[in-house]
Every structure is written in structure tokens, then in C-alpha cells.
Structure 1
Amino acid sequence: MEKRKSAIQKLKDFADRTHRKIDFNEKAFPSNAIHPLTYYRRYVSIPENDYNQIFYVCFGDSRKLDNYSTFSGVFFPLDLAGETQICVRKKQIMDKMSLFGKKKSYKTGIDSFDSQVVFEEFTAIATNKIFTNLKIQELILKAFDFDMRLRVGVNMLNLDFIPELKGRTYIGIYSTQNWYTNLSEIEILFSLAEQLKGWADFIKEPDLVGQL
């Protein structure tokens, strides 16, 4: 019987097939009498092209129990205030229940977008127009149509293990539930990130005004 390929091996195959570079690491933390299980910390980084501007990144640390112990997605650097943290996701049924509906969150003021999303986090020292831009809103909704588990976030994850992103502010389209290993799915994520980056770079004078 053929040995089942690991996620890292599948991503290595993807990089080979698409002629992309890949950086990966897997570190084991051996078990002991107190913790009889072996834990692993893994990561993979694949740049979209030789310009090293957009990266497909996977991370997993079985020692962690928080919401960011596993994630994968596409990320690109963008000059924003270092304190900025923003996370938007698709609105779910639970969000529409009265118990949850009373909680105030950031609104862009564009009803067609606000009615479909929830800002889980919005901490922005400087203002900017990124999330009020209609083209960017369209791309965010397109990402959620591709996979409703996705988030679009600014500085929500620690990506310091990627040299090109270490210490920089960034935007990402990512999931905290799984690693994407399917070639076509990763290419879709790259395409979404490329379009999002194009519009984000186009916006010259940030001016995002929160409405609570």
C-alpha cells in the first residue's frame, strides 16, 4: 500500500509542480513522564513568485491550545500603523440571534457589506480607506464565497518565522481551521491576495472611519 503523503510533502509537490520556492520546518518536542505525547511545530512558506511579495503560509503547533495553533493562508506586507489589528469574517446565523446582535462592532457604513460580515477585531490607530473601498469589499466577499471559514485580517497572527514579513505589518486571507494542500485552492488564494494587494497599494491616503 502506498504511504499516505503528509501535508508538508503535498505542499513540496505543489511547489515543484508550479516551479516555486518553498521553505519548511518541522520540530518535534519529545514526550516525557508528565506529557507522554510528542508535540510538533511545523510551518511552510511558499512565495507566489520571485518578487517575494505574497506568501502562502501554513503553521501548526500542537502544544498550543489557542485559536491560532493552526492556520494557513496568503499574506502580503502593507505599511500600516504597527498597533493596527483588524479581523473580519463572514456573518453566521448565530450572529443574527438577538443575544449576539446586541454586541456593537465596527461598521463600514456600507449596508450591503456590513450585512454580510462581522468585524471580530478592529483596533486602528491611524485611519484608512482599505475596508471601505468597494472593490476590496467585493474581494473580501468573494473570499468568503470561496470558503466561509476564511478571515481577512491585519496583524492578527505572528508571522515572524517568515523573514520577509518579520516585524512588518501585513494583510492576510487565512483560515484557523485547516491547511490548504490542493493546488487549485492555493492558486485561488494567491489570485485573491494579488487582487487585494493591488487595490490596497492603490489607496494612497488611508482614512477609515469607524461607526459603532
Structure 2
Amino acid sequence: MEKEKTTIQKLSEFANKTDHVVDFIEQAYPSNALHPVTYHRRLLYIPENRLANTYFACFGDSRRFDRQSIFSGVFFPIPLSKSIRVCLRKKDILDKMNFFSKNKGYKTGTNKFDSQVVFDAFDAIGTNRIFKNPKIHDLILKVFNFDFRLRVGVNMVNLDFVPGLKEHSHFGIYSTQDWFVDDSKIEILYDLADQFKKFVVKFDDQNAVY
């Protein structure tokens, strides 16, 4: 019986057959007799050749138990302060049942959109016009229809292990539950990122949409 391929093997194969370069680092935490379990920190990124400065990036740290212990998605730099934090997710049944949560958090003023999403974090400085854009609304809902586990965010995860994103603010479409390994889903994420970039990224500040 053929041994099942590892996540790294699957992503390396994706990179090879799509003519991408994959960069992977695995670091083991020290263990001892009292704590014989070896924990690992895994970092991986794949630049998208067709889309300048767009990266598929994955992170996993088995020793951590916070919201950044694992993530996987597509990210690109944006000309905003690194201090800004924005995070959206699809509204779930608990949100809809919690009456008190309905009046909390940021609202765009578009009822159709606000009724389907939750802003877990929002910094209006420099981002207000982005997230009030109806075309951005349509793309965000498209993301959640593709995979309800996804998040859309600005600077919500640490991407300093990706050279092209280090020291830059970034916009991301990502999951905090597991790594994407399916070829078609990764390509869809790249395509969604490309669509977002048309409205979010304006490298000429004079023509910036936000």
C-alpha cells in the first residue's frame, strides 16, 4: 500500500508542476527527559509568478495554542501602516443568536453585507474606504462562499518569514484551521487575491482608492 504523501510533499509537487518555487523551513524545539515530546515550527511560502508580490504562505507551530498557531492562505503587500489591524469572518449561527452582538463591532452601513459578516478587528485609519467599497463587499462574500472558514484581514498574522512581505503591511485571505494542499483551491485563492488587488492596492498614492 502506497504511503500517503505529507503536506509538504503535496505542496512541493504543486509548486513543481505549476513552475513555482517553494521555500520550506522546519525547526524543532528542544526536548528533554521531562518533556520528551518534540514540537515543531513549520514555515512555507510559494510566490505566485504571475502576480507581483503575491504569496501563498503557511505557518504551523505545534507548541502554540493561540489564534496564530496555524494559518494558510494568500497574501500581498499594501501601502498602509503595520499597526493597522482588520479581520472579517463569515457570521455564524452563534452570532445570529446573540442579540447583544448585533449592536457591537464595526458596520459598513450596507445592511446586506453587514448581516453576513463580522469584524473581529477593525482600525478605520486608512481602511474605512476600502471596506465600504461595494465591489470589495462582493469579493469578501465570494471568499466566504468559497470556504466559510476563511478570514479576510489586514496585518492579522506574522509574515516576517516571507522576504517579500517582511516589514510591510499585508492583505490576506486565509484559514486558521489547517493548511491548504489542494491544487485547485490554492489557484482559486491566488485568483481571489488578484481580484482584491485591483481595488485594494494602488502603489501610486495619488490614485489610491482609500
TM band (smaller chain): over 0.9
Asked if the contact 1:22–1:46 (Cα under 8 Å) also holds between the matched residues in 2, the reply is yes
Asked if the contact 2:72–2:180 (Cα under 8 Å) also holds between the matched residues in 1, the reply is yes
- Equivalent AA in structure 1 for residue 143 of structure 2: A
How far did 1:98 drift? Answer: 3.2
RMSD, matched Cα: 1.6
Question: 2:147: which partner in 1?
Answer: 147
Question: 1:40: which partner in 2?
Answer: 40
How far did 1:100 drift? Answer: 4.6
Question: 2:57: which partner in 1?
Answer: 57
Asked if the contact 1:47–1:53 (Cα under 8 Å) also holds between the matched residues in 2, the reply is yes
Q: Number of residues paired by the alignment?
A: 206
Displacement over 4 Å in runs of 4+: none
State the SS of the aligned residue for 1:131: coil
Identity, % of aligned positions: 56
Asked if the contact 1:83–1:125 (Cα under 8 Å) also holds between the matched residues in 2, the reply is no
How far did 1:26 drift? Answer: 1.0
State the SS of the aligned residue for 2:83: coil
Between the aligned partners of 1:159 and 1:192, the Cα distance in structure 2 is 19
Between the aligned partners of 1:66 and 1:133, the Cα distance in structure 2 is 31
Question: 2:115: which partner in 1?
Answer: 115
Distance 1:137 1:102, change over 3 A: closer
Between the aligned partners of 1:115 and 1:102, the Cα distance in structure 2 is 9
Asked if the contact 1:149–1:175 (Cα under 8 Å) also holds between the matched residues in 2, the reply is yes
Question: 1:210: which partner in 2?
Answer: none
- Which stretch shows the higher mean deviation, 7-16 or 99-108? 99-108
How far did 1:20 drift? Answer: 0.7
- Which stretch shows the higher mean deviation, 136-145 or 21-30? 21-30
How far did 1:30 drift? Answer: 4.0
Question: 1:209: which partner in 2?
Answer: none
Question: 1:94: which partner in 2?
Answer: 94
Question: 2:208: which partner in 1?
Answer: 204
- Equivalent AA in structure 1 for residue 25 of structure 2: N
- Equivalent AA in structure 1 for residue 155 of structure 2: N
Q: Deviations for 1:27-67, whole angstroms, at most 9, x for unmatched residues?
A: 12242123221111111101111664110001101011101
Question: 1:106: which partner in 2?
Answer: 106
How far did 1:81 drift? Answer: 2.0
Between the aligned partners of 1:127 and 1:27, the Cα distance in structure 2 is 36
State the SS of the aligned residue for 2:131: helix
Asked if the contact 1:155–1:170 (Cα under 8 Å) also holds between the matched residues in 2, the reply is yes
Q: TM-score, normalised by structure 1?
A: 0.92
- Which stretch shows the higher mean deviation, 69-78 or 96-105? 96-105
- Equivalent AA in structure 2 for residue 26 of structure 1: E
Q: TM-score, normalised by structure 2?
A: 0.93
Q: Does 1:176 align with 2:180?
A: no
State the SS of the aligned residue for 1:180: coil
Return 5+ residue gaps in structure 1 as ranges.
207-212
Asked if the contact 1:85–1:124 (Cα under 8 Å) also holds between the matched residues in 2, the reply is no
Question: 2:126: which partner in 1?
Answer: 126
